[in-house]
């Protein structure tokens, strides 16, 4: 949607903001892996923000190269 902003739009993050975002990313990846999905193309371009705020929840995009694994 129109609110999805690429992580790349927010190039300068404080250490605290980066830690929060990294923890969210690890939770998203764990959820994917728990469901047997391996993303296989993780890069800043594929990490989206739900809103324009730096504190926005993240969303992972572009699962074209994803594959299923046995959890």
Torsion of CA 58, 59, 64, 66, to 10 degrees: 80
Q: Is 62 a catalytic residue?
A: no
pLDDT for res 1: 45
Predicted TM-score (pTM) of the model is 0.77
pLDDT for res 64: 94
Q: Which of 9, 31, 34, 41 is catalytic?
A: 41
For residue 35 the two structure tokens come to 């469901």
Mean pLDDT per segment of 10 residues, for the chain of length 71 residues?
Answer: 54 83 94 94 89 83 92 61
Query: What are the residue boundaries of the structural domains of the chain, listed by start?
Result: 5-68
Classify 5-68 by CATH class: mainly alpha
């Amino acid at each position: 949607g129109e609110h999805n902003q690429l992580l790349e739009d927010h190039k300068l993050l404080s250490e605290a903001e980066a830690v929060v975002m990294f923890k969210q990313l690890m939770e998203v990846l764990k959820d994917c892996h728990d469901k047997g999905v391996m993303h296989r193309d993780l890069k800043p371009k594929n990490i989206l923000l739900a809103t324009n705020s730096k504190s926005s929840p993240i969303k992972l995009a572009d699962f074209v190269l994803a594959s299923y694994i046995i959890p």
